[in-house]
Amino acid sequence: MQIRLNKFLSQAGVASRREADRMIEEGRVRVNNQLVEELGYKIDDEKDRVEVNGKKVIRDEELIYLVLNKPAGYLVTCKDPFQRPTIKSLLSGLQKRVFPIGRLDCQSEGLLLLTNDGELAYRLTHPRYKIKKTYLVKIKGELDSSDLDKLEHGVLIDGKKTAPAKVALLASSQKKSLLKIAIHEGRKREVRKMCEAIGHEVLELKRIAFAGLKLNKLEPGKWRYLTHREIARLKELVEME
């Protein structure tokens, strides 16, 4: 069957589609011993031999899904050239390769979904499905009603206005304020940049919910598998049978 190369790599648990495209651009992917440079390249997933970094890719039929409570100070990657701490060190006991769904920057903490199901990961991060993500955000300084209004109706980030957000002020003083912010976009460092756009530095940022999933009693640095019901709910949200 003809299939896009990036989709094949995501289904094989190598990387998300976006990361797979980056691997292709970096010249790390070969098909039938030929270097692939074209994004959108298609293969026959039953006949063609695909290699990444010189190693043959074998599609794993066992799909797994888990949630991690990421502490601050860990990179959301499985390998770092500068030997900084990564989430891989937190996934003790996990034998399968997984990749994260979406982003959490190094200093942010909280709920992170990981899987080797490339199609689900692709859909959960696609703007079409407007998957909600909720954060607790501690910022420097006191907020007023105009600040909240700006966050809710959108602020300019890198020349583009953010989509409307749901914002609740939980506590406020002259030194710091605590917000709960729910968004459905997936732009890089979006919540931090939203707060910076209204003149407030983020002191702490924690994702507490993603696509209806919550951390509940999961301790920082720990992970667990999703239940069958949770997986089914995620697939329902993105119209996967």
Active site residues per annotation: 105
SS (H, E, C) 116-145: CCHHHHHHHCCHHHCCCEEEEEEEECCCCH
Nearest Cα to Cα of residue 219 among 137, 75, 109, 88? 109
Helix crossing, 190-197 with 145-153: angle to 10°? 140
CB–CB of 171/143 below 8 Å? Answer: no
Instruction: Residue 207: name the closest of 118, 125, 109 by CA.
Output: 109
Q: Give the CA dihedral 53, 20, 182, 120, nearest 10 degrees.
A: -110
d(CA 17, CA 129): 17
Q: Which residues, in sequence order, are CB contacts of 225 under 8 Å at separation 6+?
A: 64, 65, 66
Q: What is 91-108 written as a DSSP string?
A: -TT--S--EEES---TT-
